[in-house]
Amino acid sequence: MRQAPSWNEWRGALVPSLRLRHYEAEIEMRLGVQMVEWTGKFAYQQVADDLRRRIAEGEFTEKGQLPSYGDLQTEYKITVTVARSAINRLKTDGLVVSHQGKGVFLTSNAGTTAAQLADPAGTVTELREEVEKLRAEVGELRERVATLEGS
């Protein structure tokens, strides 16, 4: 029966892991390579959020096409599964469409939709203004109906 590892053995296994994280952070700073962070959010959500932000800023509007899965893997240091999940999330949001063998392309309203998704508070303010306009219109219609019923 194997004995449980001692504290020194555990620490010896942990130190290289911490060094690796430090090394990855140093590479990220020096080369400007972006890595998915250990935040508690799923990796695909982090990538989808960043792509959504970049779409809202108009980064992809010139070509109208997102980077390939391979480019996303290299840029974010992720697996192809994570890249696919991030793109699927953007498809669900209505920001992109994909064509097999051709790539992933922005939809015609991707910029405004991404901006709304990136700034939900602004969207809520717009919705409140629209509700106020509708209330005013409903009030006017009630008055007209009351006038017509009275005559």
Residue 32: the pLDDT is: 53
State the Cα–Cα distance between residues 72 and 89, nearest whole angstrom: 14
- Region 29-47: mean pLDDT is 71
Residue 11: the pLDDT is: 53
Give 97-113 pLDDT, tens digit per residue.
999 999 999 888 877 77
Residue 67: the pLDDT is: 94
Q: 103, 67 in Cβ contact below 8 A?
A: no
Helix ranges (H only) for 32-119 are 43-56, 69-76, 80-92, 110-118
Q: What is the CATH number of domain 34-118?
A: 1.10.10.10
If pLDDT is split at 50, 70 and 90, which confidence band does 34 have? low
Give 46-71 pLDDT, tens digit per residue.
999 999 889 888 898 878 899 999 99
- Region 61-82: mean pLDDT is 91
CB atoms within 10 A of CB 137: 10
State the Cα–Cα distance between residues 118 and 60, nearest whole angstrom: 16
Nearest to 106 by CA among 93, 120, 117, 119: 93
Domain spans, the chain: 1-33, 34-118, 119-151
